[in-house]
Amino acid sequence: MPALKPLYQLSLHELTELMRPVDRALRAQKLEKGLYNVYSGNTANKAVLIRDYADKTEQVRVNIATGNTQTLSRRIK
């Protein structure tokens, strides 16, 4: 068995692979509780986010000054 390295000595790839199962489990737990996961959209506009629910996905625009959101699109899974 190879020797374990401290976290600060891991490469970004090694750390990503180590954390992947934990990340998947946490995302699944949130969806089971009726919550959603948030991702940044692939746009230049940082105020556009993706909300991923268990049954739908929404693209929303966030007013950075107020925190209010506006749904731009919704896709049912």
Residue 24 has a pLDDT of: 94
Average pLDDT over residues 2-6: 80
In a domain, 70, yes or no: yes
How many independent structural domains does the chain possess? 1
Domain that residue 43 falls in: 9-76
Considering the chain, what percentage of its residues have pLDDT values greater than 90? 78
CA-based torsion, 63, 68, 73, 76: positive or negative? positive
In a domain, 38, yes or no: yes
Token duo for residue 10: 């891991």
Q: What is the rounded distance in angstroms from the CA atom of residue 6 to the CA atom of residue 70?
A: 43
Residue 5 Cα to chain centre, angstroms: 27
In a domain, 1, yes or no: no
Considering the chain, what percentage of its residues have pLDDT values greater than 70? 97
CA-based torsion, 15, 17, 19, 20: positive or negative? positive
In a domain, 22, yes or no: yes
